[in-house]
Amino acid sequence: MFFQQSRARPIEEAREIYRWFMPRLRLDAIPMLVQCIKFAERIADRGSENVRLPRLTVIGEERAYVEQVIAHALETRIDLDKYNIG
């Protein structure tokens, strides 16, 4: 749905959505993607970062990266309601 909504928009609107959303999508490219997503959920008060063994919680540089990405997303959050997406 998100993809179709973006394609149906003028390029400027689609580009605004893409630029805001893409850094979070890149979290899926990190080898510890489950841990990154769980940690991001905790930062957003939407869940716990606890993971089942053999996974361990995200630490170090990857943890700092996730914190930075999510903090920036929350600070620069766009109003998706203006696109009838939110």
Give pTM, 2 decimals.
0.75
Residues in the chain: 86
Mean pLDDT, 10 residues at a time, the chain of 86 residues? 65 83 88 91 92 92 94 90 73
Cα distance between residue 8 and residue 15, in whole Å: 12
Cα distance between residue 17 and residue 79, in whole Å: 9
Give the H or E element holding residue 35.
helix 33-43
| 38 and 49 Cβ atoms separated by less than 8 Å | yes
Determine the residue type at 8. A
